[in-house]
A and B are shown apart, each in its own frame.
Chain A
């Protein structure tokens, strides 16, 4: 089966229902996902951590005990060895997470740890660490009718003509049950992200923006515990670079894959895109207002 991901044609032996089917021209696959044997170790890895081994040529071996091992080579080939049920969502969540991040770095694309929405014809990235509320804010935009380009990982193509371009990735948003309930989205009928997590995939459906858009702004989300520290601050110069460095998805992994200079060069080009530090108190009741405020700032009174 072939799927579309960031405009790439993905041929996969593993069904990937989270992705849209490929409807473009019939051309050789850009990325192949196969089921097969994966060695327990790389020979002479430059890095060996608890989950990732990386070789000097950028090859990655990623292992989640009890779920699957993944061998990621040349930005083109992923070999998956599931530990148990190959069809389990658990196997796909890491394939479409970290493994996808490694593929991006191998291909010279810049993945940001960010959701991404369309406002007024531009892509607006909502970046931040895990637990900062990227997906809930992305879902708030979705609920207000703004098209979605990505949840959790936003892929930027810096080599594209016309400046940094966001390549749409996943037509789903991952939300914990309490976030779903807070947003009034029924969890019934939704697929779980993993069997043992109370976290669900919300399909974006027709709200998915499947074609690339120029990156208009990066919001760097931060949680503060006191309302007096909430607010927006335009980032410039060194503060902007520092925020972008933190926003790179699988940043240390990329450095370990020998991509440090490439990543830093890409970030320098990204500093031309306006960056905003958005500090907020974690408060479900404020989500819609936050989304509407960002949209208004980019000239959108109404969705789209």
Chain B
């Protein structure tokens, strides 16, 4: 049963904005509810879901063992839920230790891949993780980089292997799902066009006016204001703002020339292919 559409991106690339916009569109253009427990398009392979659906104690599994469970988990969840399921994904498109695609093609209906200028990603990532920009740049160039590495108390997510920033892009654009590629910069320049493309890719047929309403309901300043009022549950740290600037090219007034050069050197080919150089 094909069921999943993966909304994939490297972290801090506009994935959440896309999810909120799609969620709004799915509700006819109403504003997102930041006080809600679960956002539209929950994270793929949420630990609680894996424990329950795959009969697993992920608390006692190594990250590699948990990863090996995921393809089977997705098949069980797909059969259980049925219908179209959207999932947020930060993992690169990789194979499990057993050599199986982490995101099984047999339950994949499609994918949307959101990409953002890695120089802007570096600035945003440093802020999000409360780390230095140089550390963020090194993280983006590390083939072994991962989110939620495990080995700590209080981690609601399983390890997500990212590869390098460029490796992440290549892994998804080469995946069998043949994702729709959305550039964050294009989403900013013409959000209605980007959202309409995403909706079409998902096979949705929005009612007249719904795309415009969803765009208005998820303008960056609107989301920022909502976060001011309600907080935002996907903050990495309780007191660090999630929706920060929402601009393209902000790196120009933040990165030093050597920092920008380091990112360009590490990811030159992929950046050029995507029109960032």
A225 CA to B61 CA, complexed, in Å: 25
Identify A223's interface contact among B35, B69, B156, CB under 8 A.
Answer: B156
Among residues of B, the one whose C-beta sits closest to the C-beta of A128 is B48
B44-59 CB contacts (< 8 Å) to partner A: 47-48, 51-59
A168-186 CB contacts (< 8 Å) to partner B: 174-179, 182
Task: Give the interface residue-count category, chain B.
Answer: 35 or more
Among residues of B, the one whose C-beta sits closest to the C-beta of A133 is B154
Residues of A within 8 A of B52 (CB): 251-252
Among residues of B, the one whose C-beta sits closest to the C-beta of A252 is B52
Question: Interface 1/0s, chain B 67-85, versus A by CB < 8 A?
Answer: 0110111001000000000
- B246 near A: Cβ within 8 Å? no
B94 → chain A closest CB, angstroms? 17
Residues of A within 8 A of B233 (CB): 224-226, 229
Identify A131's interface contact among B54, B59, B71, B73, CB under 8 A.
Answer: B59
- B131 near A: Cβ within 8 Å? no
B95 → chain A closest CB, angstroms? 15
- A112 near B: Cβ within 8 Å? no
A13 → chain B closest CB, angstroms? 22
- B221 near A: Cβ within 8 Å? no
Do A130 and B62 have beta carbons less than 8 Å apart? no
Do A132 and B156 have beta carbons less than 8 Å apart? yes
Question: Interface 1/0s, chain A 126-162, versus B by CB < 8 A?
Answer: 0001111101100000000000000010000000000
Question: Interface 1/0s, chain B 228-269, versus A by CB < 8 A?
Answer: 001111110110000000000000000000000000000000
Known: A252-B52, A281-B238. A131 touches B60 (CB 8 A): no
Identify A93's interface contact among B35, B56, B60, B231, CB under 8 A.
Answer: B60
Question: Interface 1/0s, chain A 242-285, versus B by CB < 8 A?
Answer: 00001000111100100000000000000000000000011100
Do A49 and B76 have beta carbons less than 8 Å apart? yes
Which of A2-10, A22-30, A193-201 sits within the interface?
A193-201
Do B51 and A226 have beta carbons less than 8 Å apart? no
Do B152 and A252 have beta carbons less than 8 Å apart? no
B106 → chain A closest CB, angstroms? 14
A224 CA to B231 CA, complexed, in Å: 10
Do A129 and B47 have beta carbons less than 8 Å apart? yes
Do B235 and A136 have beta carbons less than 8 Å apart? no
Chain A contact residue count (CB 8 A cutoff):
50
Question: Interface 1/0s, chain B 177-211, versus A by CB < 8 A?
Answer: 00000000000000000000000000000000000
A195 → chain B closest CB, angstroms? 10
- A241 near B: Cβ within 8 Å? no
Do B55 and A250 have beta carbons less than 8 Å apart? yes
B159 → chain A closest CB, angstroms? 12
Identify A226's interface contact among B48, B58, B62, B230, CB under 8 A.
Answer: B230
Do B60 and A197 have beta carbons less than 8 Å apart? yes
A97 CA to B55 CA, complexed, in Å: 11
- A117 near B: Cβ within 8 Å? no
Do A226 and B238 have beta carbons less than 8 Å apart? yes
Q: Which applies to chain B's interface (DSSP): helix, strand, loop or mixed? A: loop
Residues of B within 8 A of A193 (CB): 60
Do A225 and B56 have beta carbons less than 8 Å apart? no
A248 → chain B closest CB, angstroms? 9
A153 CA to B209 CA, complexed, in Å: 51
Q: Which of A49, A66, A283 has the most CB of B within 10 A?
A: A49
Do A131 and B151 have beta carbons less than 8 Å apart? no
Do A176 and B153 have beta carbons less than 8 Å apart? yes
- A227 near B: Cβ within 8 Å? yes
Residues of A within 8 A of B57 (CB): 93-94, 97-98, 130
A117 CA to B56 CA, complexed, in Å: 25
- A62 near B: Cβ within 8 Å? yes
Question: Interface 1/0s, chain B 140-165, versus A by CB < 8 A?
Answer: 00000000000111111100000000
Question: Interface 1/0s, chain A 90-108, versus B by CB < 8 A?
Answer: 0001100110000000000
Q: Which of B55, B56, B72, B231 has the most CB of A within 10 A?
A: B55
Do A225 and B232 have beta carbons less than 8 Å apart? yes
Among residues of B, the one whose C-beta sits closest to the C-beta of A283 is B238
A175 CA to B151 CA, complexed, in Å: 10
Known: A50-B54, A176-B153. A229 touches B234 (CB 8 A): no
- B33 near A: Cβ within 8 Å? no
Known: A197-B151, A198-B151. A130 touches B58 (CB 8 A): yes
Identify A178's interface contact among B61, B65, B152, B237, CB under 8 A.
Answer: B152
B137 → chain A closest CB, angstroms? 26
Among residues of B, the one whose C-beta sits closest to the C-beta of A223 is B156
Q: Which of B58, B60, B72, B73 has the most CB of A within 10 A?
A: B60
A50 CA to B74 CA, complexed, in Å: 10
> With A94-B60, A98-B55, A131-B153 given, can you name 6 additional A-B contacts, CB distance below 8 Å?
A113-B51, A130-B57, A133-B153, A225-B238, A228-B230, A256-B55
Q: List 16 A-B contacts (CB under 8 A).
A: A49-B55, A64-B61, A129-B48, A129-B51, A130-B48, A130-B51, A130-B57, A131-B48, A132-B156, A136-B153, A176-B151, A176-B153, A198-B151, A225-B232, A226-B233, A228-B230
